[in-house]
């Protein structure tokens, strides 16, 4: 994975890329047909650049990955979950301003 890029993960990779990651991971549970998800995408691209090497930003398409979202009770998208050392430390549902997301990332980075 190139530094500062968003990682697209699948069910099979979730444990390795998220719960066993050595840095915090923000996972965006999304779908291509979701309008609000499209609004969050450019913000996540910017944050991936800003937090490169300190926080990993990942996206999981809920339509293509049926196993993982139910484990975290994903009922609405976009839902962003911030993991640190495999534990959920923050959960955000819906579109939030970039500065709000950034402050949450700064707490764990």
Q: Which residues are designated catalytic?
A: 34, 37
Hey, which residues does 88 pair with through a beta bridge? 83
Residue 40 CB partners (closer than 8 Å, separation 6+):
28, 30, 78, 80, 95
> Which of 80, 90, 100, 65 is CA-nearest to residue 29?
80
Which contiguous run of DSSP H or E holds residue 43?
helix 35-50
Residue 73 CB partners (closer than 8 Å, separation 6+):
none
């Amino acid at each position: 994975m190139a530094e500062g890029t968003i990682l697209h993960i699948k069910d099979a990779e979730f444990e390795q890329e998220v719960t066993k990651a050595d840095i915090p991971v923000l996972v965006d549970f999304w779908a291509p047909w979701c309008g609000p998800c499209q609004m969050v995408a450019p913000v996540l691209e910017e944050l991936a650049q800003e937090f490169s090497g300190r926080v990993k930003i990942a996206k999981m398409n809920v339509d293509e990955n049926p196993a993982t979202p139910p484990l975290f009770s994903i009922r609405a998208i976009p839902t962003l979950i911030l993991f640190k050392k495999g534990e959920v430390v923050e959960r955000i549902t819906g579109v939030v301003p970039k500065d709000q997301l950034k402050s949450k990332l700064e707490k764990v980075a």
